[in-house]
Amino acid sequence: MRTQMLKLQEVKENLEAKAAELAKINRELDDFTYIASHDLKEPLRGISSYCQILLEDYSGKLDDDGQRRLESLVGLCQRLSRLIDDLLTYSQIGRTEPEAAPIDLNEIVADVIDTLGAAIDERNAIVRVKGSLPTVEADRVLVGEVFRNLIANALKFNENPLPAVEIGHDG
């Protein structure tokens, strides 16, 4: 009996050590993600700025193909910036415990639509809210990320030349 208790204690201590090691690795991964996403933004801003300057200063000197390629590069910079923002948001979400509180989904969706304004304009899309959305008990950041991903994916995977996204609530 004593031998079994010692083995159980040893297994428990081993599991606790592994859990502590895993928690340390997760913290390091969160820190790396945060630092990497933050550090990637600066050179991307520079690339995007130079592309904008080239478009403004040399648009009359570029042929249609050059203009199209440069506009494509600007679009890719914007897309990469959004991906880095998403990575940064994800790393920040992992750093905090979700806090449930009453949140007005109308405000969340309006903020998300505002944040995604460039992507919405780029696709000549329409995003509308049908009726009034409820107030719910949830984490503001997580719910905002859900709506951001839903709307961004609806725009990204919609093949319609004039995509429309409708958000509503039946209840």
3-state secondary structure of 85: helix
**pLDDT surpasses 90 at 49:** no
Tell me the pLDDT of the chain averaged across its residues: 87
d(CA 72, CA 100): 41
d(CA 144, CA 153): 14
Q: Return the top range by mean pLDDT from 55-64, 86-95, 124-133.
A: 124-133
What would the pLDDT profile of 104-148 be if each residue is shown by its tens digit?
Answer: 999 999 988 988 888 898 889 999 999 999 999 998 878 988 999
Residue 37: strand pairing partners: none
